[in-house]
Amino acid sequence: MSLELKYPTSTPREFTLSVLTEDKSGLINQLTIIFTKRKININSLNVSVTEVKGVSRFTIVTETSKDMIDNIVKQIRKLIDVLGAFVYEEDQIFYQEIALYKVPKYAIVDGKSIEDLVSKSGARILVVETDYMIIEKTGKARETHDLYQKLEPFGLLEFIRSGRVAISKSTRKTEAYIKELEASNSNKLSIKDF
Amino acid sequence: MLLINNMNTSTLVLEKKVTKKTTRIKGSDAVLQCLIAEGVTTIFGYPGGAIMPIYDALYHYQDKLNHILTRHEQGAVHAAQGMARVTGKAGVCFATSGPGATNLITGIADAQIDSTPLVCITGQVPSHLLGTDAFQETDVMGISMPVTKWNYQVTRAEEIPYAIARAFYIANTGRPGPVLIDITKDAQFAEFDFTYDKCEKIRSYHPYPEALSSDLEAAANLINEAKKPYILVGQGVQLSGAENELIRFAEKTGIPMAATLMGLSGISTSHPLYVGYLGMHGNYGPNIKTNECDVLIAIGMRFDDRVTGDLDRYAKQAKVIHIEIDPSEIDKNVKTTVAINSDAKQALLGLLPLVNVSMHKDWIDEFHQCDKIEFDKVIDAELHPDSGEIKMAEVINRISKVTDGDAIVVTDVGQHQMVANRYYKFRKSLSCITSGGLGTMGFALPAAMGAKVGQPERTVIAVIGDGGFQMTIQELGTIRQSDLAVKILILNNNFLGMVRQWQQLFFEKRYSFTELDNPDFQMITKGYGIKAQKVEKREDLDQAIFDWLNCEGPALLEVVVEQEGNVFPMVPSGASVAEIRLD
């Protein structure tokens, strides 16, 4: 069933954009301008190298309408140094975020220690220092948030969460896509399903 | 090769083991040699500290590059726009860092929204001072990013050929647009081994998408079955050089054509299938028939709100075919039935063999009936008033007749712009030069200078209001110094007329800061050494127009027009095109 049938196109929902670019300075500014011009907030942004030398990947999570995200992704594709831009909904990708929690070392709440909680939450202890320890959990936002709530009674010192990294369910290779693009004389838009 | 300092030749072995001849020159010389290699003949600019090395080099290139010194950087960028619009090739302008660069921004934004190719070169503080708030430092990269098709900062001389080659390729290809190259002063001074190769491909940039045969066939089927098809001509027709293909297509299919503001002059107003001008102050028939046609064929246009009015009530009955080179314009404002993603020329060439010979006489007659209504209710009184103050429309009409629709008409922004584009009967392509998308007051005078440089043999008329004239009036100095034979028409109503019209119609006549206490334009113009005359009486108009157009060199004609005249028809903001008002 197509997504258009599930929701009206104007209802805001979450989208993950995956943008392949040349490794050039200033691109992050060019990308964010497209959002700020439309007064749309970026929920998270991750920039990373890819398996192809000289090619970077931006993973952008935002909440907006289907019409607007279609408009945005076309504007992103228009940027000269963008190789490709793809928009995904939750069921089209595998994605994770990493969260770090700094907590006091010997805290006990309701007879439970942090170690108990950590082992039950699929998290791990990353570092143990004299006064505190750092816990790491990888997962979706709601999972890392869940652990956050559980750790709060222990006197959480600091919490930080990364931007989303996402991988699509497509089997196409990035390198193959770039090669196809190089050989093509038509627009990068015509290459779909990535 | 002339007086280039420190020139010696050496060879550089490139990666592919091709030995290319290089010349050891300064970055500043390289900039100019790149421009010459790109076929540039004229630069509009204004010197200053951070671009002085380039200006110093320019001193030695005066026989190859014509530099026109404007009186303000905004004048330089608008002039470059004017030149680009009449030649179809990127206009070039120079400015220094800081205020020089920021003064270009309005023109760059104008070029971006109106798809005009520009290469703007700005000087920048030396690279070791970047980010220190040095004298005349501004983040022109950051400032220009939202309004350029591409920009690039050069901090090493070696990057100059790469940057400029890309700049011209990007500016001129696909949907054209402005690019900006910011060059630090040390990169201008530094010497390097120069060689130049034009840019022919960028792997992440595909400027010419090819129309899919399935889309062409689907569009042809809609066209062949249509009873009331209707063509909207945008600027894309002129940008892709599709004027002849459009005529062949329209004549084969018998489909009536209307033009957007930016599309004007792409089709001769005398063509029997041309039915008029679209949009807020366009013609009556072309607007209301948009909501009556069954197939709307939009060619190289972007459904701007000044064309569509209320989108929720725009052409809802029609199947929409959108021929558009820029994929981001497709389905942006109007959802298409069939989109053909290619330039107008390729799309029309692809459609021509697929469409049937047809005629739509009854449908076209409906437009002519609307023309009669508009003539009786609006045009007749505008063109042939018996008495009273002179109307803008009658001035334009007389000029149109005297020039036989053959002039390049450069308009500023406001009432006079709408009137000039309504009543000037364009016959030649690339002749309607106006600030469409951005609506930049002050555009016309400098843009007309550029148009004259680009097409020196043609009559170039700048039509300007008394408000806009004072935004770039200093360019009279450029016109004099560079002897640019621009014919300047000032339609003076002592008001910011379009805003006043809106105040009258929608703000209960509260004329809040729209009345102008103007200077003596005659004295100012004469002070610049340019001929000027003023007309206040209708009976003096013909002779004055004759003298103005036939004198040698630049000349200004000021016509005192009706103070509180309104431009009709009008689609009020937020109304449907079907609700166009005739009074």
Q: Are B149 and A83 in contact (CB < 8 Å)?
A: no
Model ipTM?
A: 0.90
**Residue B371, in any domain of the structure:** no
In terms of domains, do B446 and B343 share one? no
B278/A170 Cα distance (integer angstroms): 45
In a domain, B568, yes or no: no
Tokens found for residue B390: 């002179």
Co-location of B354 and B270 in the same domain = yes
Q: What is the mean pLDDT of residues B474-479?
A: 98
Statement to judge: residues B185 and B51 lie in one domain: yes
User: Does B12 score more than 70 pLDDT?
Assistant: no
* pLDDT for residue B303: 97
Of A22, A71, A187, the CB nearest to B341: A187
- The pLDDT value recorded for residue A174 is 85
Partners of A102 in beta bridges: A134, A158
CATH number of the domain bearing residue B124: 3.40.50.970
Counting every residue, how long is chain A?
194
pLDDT at residue B47 in the model: 98
B488 pLDDT exceeds 60? Answer: yes
**B328/A78 Cβ within 8 A:** yes
A31: chain B residues, CB-CB within 8 Å: none
pLDDT > 70 fraction of chain B, expressed in percent and rounded: 97
The predicted pLDDT at position A185 comes to: 63
How far does B170 lie from chain A, in Å, by closest CA?
A: 8
Comparing CB atoms, the residue among A22, A33, A75 nearest residue B145 is A33
CATH code 3.30.70.1150 region(s) in chain A: 95-163
pLDDT for the residue A180: 83
Identify the closest residue of chain B to A80 by CA–CA distance: B205
Quick one: pLDDT band at residue B20, thresholds 50, 70, 90? confident
Mean pLDDT of A59-71: 95
Q: What is the pLDDT of residue B6?
A: 40
Displacement of CA A130 from its chain's centroid (Å): 33
A109: confidence class by pLDDT, cuts 50, 70, 90: confident
Give the residue numbers spanning the domain of B261: 213-366
Class of domain A3-88+168-190: alpha beta
Residue with tokens 């690339």: B430
Asked if A178 and B203 come within 8 Å (Cβ–Cβ), the reply is yes
| Closest B-chain CA to A20 | B204
- Judge: B203–A182 Cβ closer than 8 Å, yes or no: yes
Contacts of B579 (CB under 8 A, 6+ apart): B309, B571, B572
In Å, how far is B21's CA from the nearest CA of chain A?
29
Question: What pTM was estimated for this model as a whole?
Answer: 0.94
CA nearest B152 in A: which residue? A26
Decide if pLDDT at B508 tops 70: yes
Domain shared by B300 and B224, yes or no:
yes
Once rounded to an integer, what is the mean pLDDT over residues B142-162? Answer: 98
Nearest CA to CA, how far is B454 from chain A (Å)? Answer: 28
Asked if residue B446 and residue B329 are part of one domain, the reply reads no
The per-residue pLDDT for A6 is 53
> Do B279 and B330 have their domain in common?
yes
pLDDT in tens, B91-130: 999 999 999 999 999 999 999 999 999 999 999 999 999 9
Q: Average pLDDT over chain B, rounded to whole?
A: 96
d(CA B191, CA B486): 41
Asked if CATH classification 3.30.70.1150 holds for the domain at A95-163, the reply, yes or no, is yes
Domain boundary among B194, B221, B251: B194
- Inform me whether the pLDDT recorded for B470 exceeds 80: yes
Q: How confident is the model at residue A113, as a pLDDT?
A: 81
pLDDT value at residue A117: 87
Q: Are B340 and B324 in contact (CB under 8 A)?
A: yes
One domain, residues B420 and B316:
no
pLDDT band at B336 (very low <50, low <70, confident <90, very high): very high
Percent of chain B at pLDDT exceeding 90 = 96
Residue B18 class from Cβ within 10 Å (0-12 exposed, 13-18 middle, 19+ buried)? exposed
B207 found inside a domain:
no
What mean pLDDT comes out for the span B11-40?
81
* Domain count across chain B: 3
Mean pLDDT of B188-198: 97
| Catalytic site positions of B | 73, 135-136, 185, 498
Please state the rounded mean pLDDT for residues B64-86: 98
